[in-house]
């Protein structure tokens, strides 16, 4: 009904173009990144993350992913530098992941998928008055993508995975204060960058993507806790585990991917 969408056979990524024709647009995400075809742009400076005074507010299950929201009423936590002309305010972060043992990331590297992908979503508060307005502008959003590779336990991710039981059902939300996503960054901030879109409807072509080359590791146990989340609400009798909530790579359509040094 209406603009309902999901990741199943009846409502998944191959059908989103029916309600969201931009799905077949010229700057859709994610994409397959081919490192050797990326252009080394020496004018690309380092990305700078100023998260020290970030204020996380809550963690929620929106029926598509699990999202941690931040206070974005001022410039307390921003990303700047790299391909960005302005500082962009941290608004939320969320994840995309697979089912048991299979892939789950949205971006791929030479066809290789990771187990999961973390998206830190920021908006251009210099040019736009709120997130909603920025989300429809070509330079409105900047999303930092971090690959999660199955391996050892991540020493800080348990703070998130231990809270997931509280947001099992679609529409659930709970306090989540004092979390700083700086603890989820890999040691290197080397990145690829390109112009793309949201990877979920409404698929707005408003995102400057910054994908870190180095992944972080998470254990199968930690990934298993993400898979205990449900796409469905408490009141629904059909329980559907939240997994494989990723869009496959989209056509590059002539875009250039640039690489930091």
Ligand X SMILES: Cc1cc(=S)c(O)co1
Of 40, 53, 64, 122, which residue is the catalytic one? 64
Which burial class, exposed, middle or buried, applies to 237 when counting CB atoms under 10 A from its CB (0-12, 13-18, 19+)? Answer: exposed
User: What is the distance between the alpha carbons of residues 172 and 191, in angstroms, rounded to a whole number?
Assistant: 34
User: What is the distance between the alpha carbons of residues 201 and 13, in angstroms, rounded to a whole number?
Assistant: 9
Binding mask 97-136 for ligand X (x = CB under 6 A): ----------------------x-x---------------
Q: Which does 121 bind (CB under 5 to 8 A by kind): ligand X, Zn ion, none?
A: ligand X
Tell me if residue 119 is catalytic: no
Q: Does 247 bind Zn ion (CB under 5 A)?
A: no
Q: Which does 116 bind (CB under 5 to 8 A by kind): ligand X, Zn ion, none?
A: none
Q: What's the closest the beta carbon of residue 247 comes to ligand X, in angstroms?
A: 8
Among 27, 91, 103, 119, the residue binding Zn ion under the rule CB under 5 A is 119
User: What is the distance between the alpha carbons of residues 152 and 165, in angstroms, rounded to a whole number?
Assistant: 21
When the beta carbons of 12 and 37 are compared against Zn ion, the nearer one is 12
Going 145 to 147 to 153 to 154, the CA torsion angle's sign is negative
Residues lying near ligand X in the complex (CB under 6 A) are found at: 119, 121, 143, 198-200
Q: Which residues are catalytic?
A: 64
């Amino acid at each position: 009904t209406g603009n309902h969408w999901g990741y199943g056979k009846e409502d998944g990524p191959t059908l989103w173009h029916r309600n969201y024709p931009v799905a077949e647009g010229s700057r859709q995400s994610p994409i397959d990144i081919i490192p050797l075809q990326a252009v080394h742009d020496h004018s690309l400076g380092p990305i700078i993350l100023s998260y020290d005074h970030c204020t996380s507010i809550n963690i929620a299950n929106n029926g598509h992913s699990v999202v941690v929201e931040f206070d974005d009423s001022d410039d307390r936590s921003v990303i700047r530098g790299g391909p960005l002309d302005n500082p962009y305010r941290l608004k939320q972060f969320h994840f995309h992941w697979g089912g048991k043992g299979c892939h789950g990331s949205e971006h791929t590297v030479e066809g290789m998928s990771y187990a999961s992908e973390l998206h830190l979503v920021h908006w251009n508060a210099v040019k736009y008055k709120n997130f909603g307005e920025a989300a429809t502008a070509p330079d409105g959003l900047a999303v930092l993508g971090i690959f999660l590779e199955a391996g050892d336990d991540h020493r800080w991710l348990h703070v998130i995975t231990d809270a997931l039981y509280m947001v099992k059902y679609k529409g659930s939300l709970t306090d989540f204060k004092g979390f700083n996503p700086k603890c989820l960054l890999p040691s290197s901030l080397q990145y690829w960058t390109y112009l793309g879109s949201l990877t979920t409807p409404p698929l707005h072509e408003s995102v400057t993507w910054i994908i870190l080359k180095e992944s972080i590791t998470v254990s199968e146990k930690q990934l298993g806790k993400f898979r205990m989340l449900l796409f469905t609400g408490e009141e629904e009798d059909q329980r559907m585990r939240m997994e494989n909530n990723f869009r496959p790579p989209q056509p590059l359509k002539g875009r250039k991917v640039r690489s930091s040094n």
